[in-house]
Amino acid sequence: MEGTLTEIRELAAYARLYLTPKEERYLLGQLNLMLDAMVKLRELDAPTTQSALRPFIGPDALRDDTVGLSLACEEVLESVLLPWGKK
């Protein structure tokens, strides 16, 4: 599967971007890399492939959700603002 410069120009128009010819060629190369990756993923035999996200799920792999204490709104905001010297 290959993308075209026409598709790049259409996508740029949707995003209201002006691209130079050099940028169009660069993005076409990037698009084609992504499309090649999608083709490889499509070839993957997913029903017989084990998930890498959770290779093992035992009885204690997942914990029950429990309600607990959380930070007050002021504490959260303070922790975010302090690194920039604001209070």
Instruction: Identify whether 33 is part of a domain.
Output: yes
The Cα 2–Cα 36 span in angstroms is: 8
Instruction: Identify whether 26 is part of a domain.
Output: yes
- Domain hosting 25: range is 5-46
Phi (first) and psi of residue 27, to 5 degrees:
-65, -30
Instruction: Give mean pLDDT, residues 12-24.
Output: 94
pLDDT band at 18 (very low <50, low <70, confident <90, very high): very high
Number of structural domains the chain divides into: 1
Q: Is the pLDDT of residue 25 over 60?
A: yes
Instruction: Identify whether 51 is part of a domain.
Output: no
Q: What is the mean pLDDT of the chain?
A: 80
The Cα 50–Cα 38 span in angstroms is: 19
Of the chain, the percentage scoring pLDDT greater than 70 comes to 72
Query: Under 8 Å CB-to-CB from 9, ≥6 apart: which residues?
Result: 19, 24
Instruction: Identify whether 87 is part of a domain.
Output: no
The Cα 11–Cα 8 span in angstroms is: 5
The Cα 42–Cα 1 span in angstroms is: 12
pTM more than 0.75: no
Instruction: Give mean pLDDT, residues 59-67.
Output: 71
